[in-house]
Amino acid sequence: MILSINIINIFVLVVLGIILFNVFKIVPQQQAWIIERLGKLHKVLPAGLNFIIPMVDRVAYKHTLKEQAIDVTAQTAISNDNVSLSIDGVL
């Protein structure tokens, strides 16, 4: 009898641990997470420790806020005084 109570207590503690693990989400720096509640947009989680409701809320998208460099291909142009220029850049 005592053994079965101990097994039940261990099972309950494991289930509570899993639920608590899923309740708190840690969003890394330079990221924002989109949360859906029952399939509809609910909120945007900022960086840090956040609370969600398990089995109701889900992380739909993880968006990075870091700067992203986009290369622009080199182009040639002719100025007003007929000088050929080569222009390239990074956005």
For residue 46, what are its two tokens? 């900022």
pTM as predicted? 0.63
Predicted pLDDT of residue 33: 96
d(CA 34, CA 22): 16
Q: Where are the domains of the chain?
A: 2-66
Confidence at residue 1, expressed as pLDDT on a 0 to 100 scale: 65
- Residuewise pLDDT in 10s, the chain (91 residues): 667 778 889 999 999 988 888 899 999 999 999 999 999 999 999 999 999 998 899 999 999 999 888 888 888 988 888 888 888 888 7
3-class SS of residue 38: coil
- Classify residue 82 by its DSSP letter: S
